[in-house]
Amino acid sequence: MQSKTLKVGIVGGTGYTGVELLRLLALHPNIELTAITSRGEAGMPVADMFPNLRGYVGLNFIDPAQADLGSCDVVFFATPNGIAMQQTRALLDKGVRVIDLAADFRIQDIAEWEKWYGMTHACPDLVAQAVYGLPELNREQIRTAQLVANPGCYPTAVQLGFLPLLEAGLVDVDHLIADAKSGVSGAGRKAEVHTLFAEAGDNFKAYGVGGHRHLPEISQGLARMSGKAVGLTFVPHLTPLIRGIHATLYARLDKQADLQALFEQRYDNEQFVDVLPKGAHPETRSVRGSNQCRIAVHQPQGGDTVVVLSVIDNLVKGAAGQAIQNMNIMFDLPEKTGLEIMPLLP
Amino acid sequence: MQSKTLKVGIVGGTGYTGVELLRLLALHPNIELTAITSRGEAGMPVADMFPNLRGYVGLNFIDPAQADLGSCDVVFFATPNGIAMQQTRALLDKGVRVIDLAADFRIQDIAEWEKWYGMTHACPDLVAQAVYGLPELNREQIRTAQLVANPGCYPTAVQLGFLPLLEAGLVDVDHLIADAKSGVSGAGRKAEVHTLFAEAGDNFKAYGVGGHRHLPEISQGLARMSGKAVGLTFVPHLTPLIRGIHATLYARLDKQADLQALFEQRYDNEQFVDVLPKGAHPETRSVRGSNQCRIAVHQPQGGDTVVVLSVIDNLVKGAAGQAIQNMNIMFDLPEKTGLEIMPLLP
Amino acid sequence: MQSKTLKVGIVGGTGYTGVELLRLLALHPNIELTAITSRGEAGMPVADMFPNLRGYVGLNFIDPAQADLGSCDVVFFATPNGIAMQQTRALLDKGVRVIDLAADFRIQDIAEWEKWYGMTHACPDLVAQAVYGLPELNREQIRTAQLVANPGCYPTAVQLGFLPLLEAGLVDVDHLIADAKSGVSGAGRKAEVHTLFAEAGDNFKAYGVGGHRHLPEISQGLARMSGKAVGLTFVPHLTPLIRGIHATLYARLDKQADLQALFEQRYDNEQFVDVLPKGAHPETRSVRGSNQCRIAVHQPQGGDTVVVLSVIDNLVKGAAGQAIQNMNIMFDLPEKTGLEIMPLLP
Amino acid sequence: MQSKTLKVGIVGGTGYTGVELLRLLALHPNIELTAITSRGEAGMPVADMFPNLRGYVGLNFIDPAQADLGSCDVVFFATPNGIAMQQTRALLDKGVRVIDLAADFRIQDIAEWEKWYGMTHACPDLVAQAVYGLPELNREQIRTAQLVANPGCYPTAVQLGFLPLLEAGLVDVDHLIADAKSGVSGAGRKAEVHTLFAEAGDNFKAYGVGGHRHLPEISQGLARMSGKAVGLTFVPHLTPLIRGIHATLYARLDKQADLQALFEQRYDNEQFVDVLPKGAHPETRSVRGSNQCRIAVHQPQGGDTVVVLSVIDNLVKGAAGQAIQNMNIMFDLPEKTGLEIMPLLP
């Protein structure tokens, strides 16, 4: 394996998913980082913007027009929504495989996508051929995919939590509830008032209860798992963490089953999903900086409501780490390559 | 009103509810603070332990045995569970009215209380005569109560959020869900590892999913509102806030109604419950340091799941502020006296 | 006193000093809030932007052109630097007294001001007549001032800490050191990347070591106290607090003296400066939300280096609270009016 | 190199330096973790206490009496002060090399140590033979040391910042100032009130201004560098970070020199000291989770006061990482082995 070296490009490297890709790729033994583009910061050393990379990443940001992305084996888009769909076809035509960390290729129903994202889709045909990059669900299709739609952060935590229940057909899928809490880095590295330290610190709030862009993505995934449309109430919250998502999931049980065994068996072979012992409560810090998802399943007071607790690092398993996991699968590398990272605790 | 001066005692003043009572009472125009007891810290100036009180509170902690609590008009217990039940009868016998901020008198079913609190109750008869001090529900009984059981923090946020729906009989009471998030001060000023800054900071977790002491208290309250037993799934979470509770409540609607109008009407005359405009999301910081509860009601995608968002400061409306609100009612003072505090934002 | 009612206007109310003025003025018994202006948010209810004010502040932001500021007794400028100097003369001409919370009138040396603030000063003559609003230094001049330059946040903490030493002529003024740490609200409510929660949270850094705008303001003040020019090294740091400044001050003692007595005597009559007992360490939270400055003086190992610790809430004693203190002095109200606020702890 | 495998033991693994040793050693290619002891938690799986280790560390804590530490190549003491000095001789006698992360062997002047640590030293002769484990100062002695005294966190940050200045003899060593700020994990994983989230969060304070245990350790090191006794004022502060130390150092220049060049040359060959470009300000997060120390040197306004900014992660370069760096040196492994960790940002 040590002889394989992939040429990797990153489009749009100035956000948190960009720096996280760099943090992880810098120590990945099988890649060579070819180019990282930024329209606004072309010429600036990457490590000037992200001082954690000093000594590890010597590249400068390069203008997209100058970047030779066509010679890469794989290109990651760490761009705002709506950029990847403009540039992906040209790369695919040159044989470059593409992993989009934004939402451009995640939703198969184009009208639905256009409603939530407020723009006309540039390439519906590519959406149809894109593979949704949740390895625990779609590993085989990912292997051969030319274009991977990397899942959103909330969708990753929520789907992995519901997956065993829906596949087993145990719950009322018309009334699923996902109460999800995200750290502030989920809002990105954008100059905005509501995510200032003095606004988001020592504060907790729900947002987007009327509708959030991750709702259709999650619903689409849950429908695939259960084989029919689902009814989902999704309430995201902003919590004063830097990193981390905690999804608390509720469903009504239609039948009884050994839920602990169900979850353990479903994820038995998954390297990045860790089912905790019965009665446990996963903490977001237990996955901080790593690609792990940790899950616990509860049935309070033995009633008919099942509660699933699912935590990820939104920037790793919820973004850059999962993208690299997908890359590893696509290029037949061991799935953990470059992702053997111990979570940082405390 | 300005001529009325109540003699006030506090038993157990070294915890967060104690210092919070002092912060609020120090500027209350109708009280005279007679004594604040602490077995462990007797003799220490209160302001040495709590430097925010310097210049406002000149008292020293006094040993309970030395304190002349019998001459007070009202005594607050800011003690661990199980203390107030030992001392309340003697005070009541002397005509002192008692407000217990702990859980000793909150649950009418003694067996249930003993199960959750792990001790034998010292005075079941006093439980029967205690009034549950949620003013929005029990204002008239509080006026004449000799003994008030001040509600817990989670129970305050959850009950105020469900109240209009249950009184109106609009929802399936067998499957209520309360997903609640609390700041760390809710755990008290106790030397424990799991609430250290390095443990609870930058971290989010659920706890007590299998069962939490506030569950029976909330269930009892919700049952009163709806006139029948309820089924409640209650999941508390620890979030890196100092103060604040955010309860996200879910219920299945049995009938349709104008929920916004329902909530606004129910709380129209309440000075400490603020129903936000349609579509709003209350933030915990919007009530920081104040006795307000702010509530918003949502019906996502027009479906049959209602979502209520309810925020309080756990140490004020969830503890000391509500206790003073109860005192004001008991002694026929304007309910806002000493509680006109602007929340601190940012 | 209770009959006096001042008409108050605020120019520029959408920043943190604006909301803080509102928080404090809303409960001030001697003022009537006439207008609060905002060019960008005209028409929006103030409480929509700052939900803590709901129920207390019913005003809408008003366009400056529509605001009848000329009929006010006093107008506060809570604007970016460079605005107040454009509008102050017209107000003064109408007999309105002005308190500028920005830096326009703080520095008497116009060339120095223009160098640090990067603009031409619009009214040097008004600078000459402005009174620097540090009551502990200039109380008498403030009483009759038409125009008050409210001190900056760092300058307040640093000057109050050095004041007794410099007035007494005890230290080498050529080598003063002020190592100051500020909460993030000091950077204002501006959409910027470096003050995002995900940037400033769990992070600590110095900034502006080469030169910070508060350096000339502090140096000017210290020179007045000592009667000669001073040499100051000022290093500000950003710390993950919302509110609070902690200044750690170092000076070389030229003579010995009872420093504890010196500080206690100098501030004996000051209501908002609290000298802590010998050996104490003030905490920023002990002044959170209040107009207090707390100070401790140390002489480690009995050597010739004196260390002064000085804490304030940057938005209160460092901005809005001190502005109201100045207003109270200017209008012959008791200095504490509207400022009897218990710090919020925890 | 890959064939070398060291047998490693850890005494006292339940604190933050213990879990940090485990986090780093778990991925170290040349070690085999033999035993980790804890008197109180014997039998508990290590990963139950520290969930970040799940899947990487399969060991249980073992009672010290049961642990076969004598067969180890190297034993780390991650114990409270006063433990290692009881057990080290027996290990050394068996040929085991010892690295003590506590303070037992750091101070050569036994009387001084006993004064600050409040106990009688058990083995002054071993102190005399111990090597102070600051590789940038003592690399050659560390290579052959049987017993390494791993430096404290503050001492590491402060000494690395002053080192080039003192070796070059450029500053007045009688009046050095170290204003240091530490994250809360520096206080350890101990159940104490003052480090609770609700106490240390949103708060900033100095402590130990009258005297701190790290003062004699730093003074001893600075004296070695400068060849004579130094006068140091050391003021530590607690800041609401989980990890990180920021030392701001002040000294009076006796002669002029190119300070930037001096620092760059001194640390040119050091893999874990990064001198930032002129004018830069290091951030604690830029080293979070890594063994880096980043340093910047400033001469504000070109005056005679030099300001050095030095940041480390207190648990890595300030404790466990430096201990492993020492182990690598002692066993002739490449110094970076197991320490190639990208700092976590954001």
Task: Determine whether the interchain pair B288/C242 forms a contact, defined as Cβ–Cβ distance below 8 Å.
Answer: no
Q: Which of the other chains make 3 or more beta carbon contacts under 8 angstroms with chain B?
A: A, C, D
Instruction: Considering the candidates A72, A123, A153, A293, report the single residue annotated as catalytic.
Output: A153
Contact D213, D117 (CB under 8 A): yes
Is B10's pLDDT higher than 70? yes
Is D244's pLDDT higher than 60? yes
In terms of CA atoms, which chain C residue is nearest residue B57?
Answer: C342
Rounded Cα distance between C246 and C236, Å, is 10
Question: What CATH homologous superfamily does D153-313 map to?
Answer: Dihydrodipicolinate Reductase; domain 2 (3.30.360.10)
Contact D219, D230 (CB under 8 A): yes
Per the structure block, which two tokens stand in for C69?
A: 């500021």
From first to last of the 346 residues of chain A, give the pLDDT tens digit. Answer: 456 899 999 999 899 999 999 999 999 999 999 999 999 999 999 999 999 999 999 999 999 989 999 999 999 999 999 999 999 999 999 999 999 999 999 999 999 999 999 999 999 999 999 999 999 999 999 999 999 999 999 999 999 999 999 999 999 999 999 999 999 999 999 999 999 999 999 999 999 999 999 999 999 999 999 999 999 999 999 999 999 999 999 999 999 999 999 999 999 999 999 999 999 999 999 999 999 999 999 999 999 999 999 999 999 999 999 999 999 999 999 999 999 999 999 9
The C-alpha of A308 sits at a distance from chain B's nearest C-alpha, in angstroms, of: 10
Task: Determine whether the interchain pair A202/B231 forms a contact, defined as Cβ–Cβ distance below 8 Å.
Answer: no
Interface test with D, best of A52, A203, A204, A268 (most D CBs within 10 A): A52
**A-proximal residues of B, 304-343, CB under 8 Å:** 304-305, 307, 309, 311
Q: How many helices (H) does chain C have, and how many strands (E)?
A: 11, 13
Task: Determine whether the interchain pair D298/C210 forms a contact, defined as Cβ–Cβ distance below 8 Å.
Answer: yes
Rounded Cα distance between D6 and D25, Å, is 11
Task: Determine whether the interchain pair B191/D191 forms a contact, defined as Cβ–Cβ distance below 8 Å.
Answer: yes
Q: What is the dihedral of CA C150, C152, C158, C161, to 10 degrees?
A: 30
Is D3's pLDDT higher than 90? no
* C202: nearest CB among A199, A202, A242: A242
Residues in chain D: 346
- Residue C329: CB atoms within 10 Å: 22
- Residue A124: CB atoms within 10 Å: 14
Task: Determine whether the interchain pair D185/A343 forms a contact, defined as Cβ–Cβ distance below 8 Å.
Answer: no
Catalytic residues of C: 153
Is B2's pLDDT higher than 70? no
Task: Determine whether the interchain pair C201/A196 forms a contact, defined as Cβ–Cβ distance below 8 Å.
Answer: no
* Per-residue model confidence as pLDDT tens digits over B316-338: 999 999 999 999 999 999 999 99
Contact C54, C47 (CB under 8 A): yes
The C-alpha of B245 sits at a distance from chain D's nearest C-alpha, in angstroms, of: 14
**Residues 6+ positions from B302 with CB-CB distance below 8 Å:** none
Residues in chain A: 346
* Per-residue model confidence as pLDDT tens digits over D278-304: 999 999 999 999 999 999 999 999 999
The C-alpha of C281 sits at a distance from chain D's nearest C-alpha, in angstroms, of: 6
> By the CB < 8 Å criterion, does B302 face chain A?
no
* A200: nearest CB among C193, C197, C202: C197
The domain spans of chain C are 6-129, 153-314
- Tell me if residue D171 falls in helix, strand or coil: strand
What pLDDT does residue A4 have? Answer: 87
Q: Which of the other chains make 3 or more beta carbon contacts under 8 angstroms with chain A?
A: B, C, D
Q: Roughly what angle, to the nearest 10 degrees, separates helices A16-25 and A321-330?
A: 50
* C285: nearest CB among D202, D206, D298: D202
Report whether the peptide linkage leading into residue D124 is cis, meaning its omega lies within 30 degrees of zero.
no
- Tell me if residue A109 falls in helix, strand or coil: coil
Residue type, A9: G
Q: Chain-wide mean pLDDT for chain B? A: 97
> By the CB < 8 Å criterion, does D283 face chain A?
yes
Interface test with D, best of A203, A342, A345 (most D CBs within 10 A): A342
Rounded Cα distance between D152 and A248, Å, is 41
What pLDDT does residue C1 have? Answer: 44
Closest CA to A45 of A23, A60, A64, A67: A60
Rounded Cα distance between D38 and B21, Å, is 42
Task: Determine whether the interchain pair C233/D250 forms a contact, defined as Cβ–Cβ distance below 8 Å.
Answer: yes
Q: What percent of chain D is modeled with pLDDT above 90?
A: 97
Task: Determine whether the interchain pair B346/C185 forms a contact, defined as Cβ–Cβ distance below 8 Å.
Answer: yes
- Residue A91: CB atoms within 10 Å: 22
Per the structure block, which two tokens stand in for B198?
A: 């390095």
Residue D235 pairs in a beta bridge with D179
Residues in chain B: 346
Contact B174, D173 (CB under 8 A): no
Rounded Cα distance between A50 and B320, Å, is 45
Contact residues on chain D for B198, CB-CB shorter than 8 A = 16, 183-185, 187, 189, 195, 242
Residue A251 pairs in a beta bridge with A306
In terms of CA atoms, which chain D residue is nearest residue C307?
Answer: D209
Interface test with D, best of C209, C309, C315 (most D CBs within 10 A): C209
- Residue B259: CB atoms within 10 Å: 19
Task: Determine whether the interchain pair B198/D184 forms a contact, defined as Cβ–Cβ distance below 8 Å.
Answer: yes
Mean pLDDT of the region B83-101: 98
Task: For B105, list phi and psi in degrees, rounded to 5.
Answer: -120, 20
What pLDDT does residue D151 have? Answer: 98
Task: Determine whether the interchain pair B285/A202 forms a contact, defined as Cβ–Cβ distance below 8 Å.
Answer: yes
What pLDDT does residue D1 have? Answer: 44
Closest CA to B119 of B130, B98, B103, B133: B103
- Tell me if residue C149 falls in helix, strand or coil: strand
CA-to-CA dists, residue D315 to C206, D3, D13, angstroms: 21, 29, 14
Rounded Cα distance between C231 and C214, Å, is 14
- Residue ranges in chain C modelled with pLDDT below 50: 1
**Residues 6+ positions from A203 with CB-CB distance below 8 Å:** A238, A240, B241, B244, B283, B284, B285
Dihedral sign, CA of D164, D170, D174, D176?
A: negative
* C346: nearest CB among B24, B202, B242: B242
> By the CB < 8 Å criterion, does C283 face chain B?
yes
Is B3's pLDDT higher than 80? no
* Per-residue model confidence as pLDDT tens digits over C206-236: 999 999 999 999 999 999 999 999 999 999 9
> By the CB < 8 Å criterion, does B243 face chain C?
yes
Question: What CATH homologous superfamily does D6-150+318-330 map to?
Answer: NAD(P)-binding Rossmann-like Domain (3.40.50.720)
CA-to-CA dists, residue A346 to A49, C175, C203, angstroms: 26, 40, 14
Taking phi first (over 0 means left), then psi (-120 to 50 degrees means alpha), and beta for anything else, what does residue B209 get?
Answer: alpha
Closest CA to A279 of B194, B154, D48: D48
> By the CB < 8 Å criterion, does A285 face chain C?
no
Task: Determine whether the interchain pair A233/B209 forms a contact, defined as Cβ–Cβ distance below 8 Å.
Answer: no
**A-proximal residues of B, 12-71, CB under 8 Å:** none
* D233: nearest CB among C231, C234, C307: C307
The C-alpha of B295 sits at a distance from chain C's nearest C-alpha, in angstroms, of: 12
What pLDDT does residue B1 have? Answer: 44
Contact D240, C330 (CB under 8 A): no
Taking phi first (over 0 means left), then psi (-120 to 50 degrees means alpha), and beta for anything else, what does residue C338 get?
Answer: left
Rounded Cα distance between A201 and A183, Å, is 11
The C-alpha of C163 sits at a distance from chain B's nearest C-alpha, in angstroms, of: 22
* A240: nearest CB among C189, C195, C197: C197
Q: How many CB pairs under 8 A join C and D?
A: 140
Contact residues on chain C for B26, CB-CB shorter than 8 A = 342
Q: In which residue are the tokens 């249930």 written?
A: B112
In terms of CA atoms, which chain A residue is nearest residue B185?
Answer: A202
Same fold, A6-129 and A153-314: no
CA-to-CA dists, residue C97 to C8, C75, C145, angstroms: 10, 6, 8
Question: What CATH homologous superfamily does C6-129 map to?
Answer: NAD(P)-binding Rossmann-like Domain (3.40.50.720)
CATH architecture entry for C153-314: 2-Layer Sandwich (3.30)
> By the CB < 8 Å criterion, does C285 face chain B?
yes
Is B161's pLDDT higher than 60? yes
The C-alpha of B241 sits at a distance from chain A's nearest C-alpha, in angstroms, of: 5
Q: How many CB pairs under 8 A join A and C?
A: 64
Contact C144, C335 (CB under 8 A): no
Is D2's pLDDT higher than 60? no
Contact B217, B157 (CB under 8 A): no
* D307: nearest CB among C233, C282, C283: C233
Exposed / middle / buried, residue D3 (Cβ in 10 Å: 0-12, 13-18, 19+): exposed
Interface test with D, best of C203, C287, C311 (most D CBs within 10 A): C203
Percent helix, strand, coil in chain C, to 5, is 35, 20, 45
In terms of CA atoms, which chain D residue is nearest residue A281?
Answer: D51
**Residues 6+ positions from B93 with CB-CB distance below 8 Å:** none
In terms of CA atoms, which chain A residue is nearest residue B241?
Answer: A202
What pLDDT does residue B4 have? Answer: 87
Mean pLDDT of the region D102-129: 97
Mean pLDDT of the region D111-128: 97
Mean pLDDT of the region B167-192: 97
> By the CB < 8 Å criterion, does A288 face chain D?
yes
Rounded Cα distance between B121 and A243, Å, is 44
Contact residues on chain A for B174, CB-CB shorter than 8 A = none
The C-alpha of D294 sits at a distance from chain A's nearest C-alpha, in angstroms, of: 10
Work out the pLDDT band at D4, boundaries 50, 70, 90.
Answer: confident
* Per-residue model confidence as pLDDT tens digits over B263-299: 999 999 999 999 999 999 999 999 999 999 999 999 9
Contact A214, B293 (CB under 8 A): no
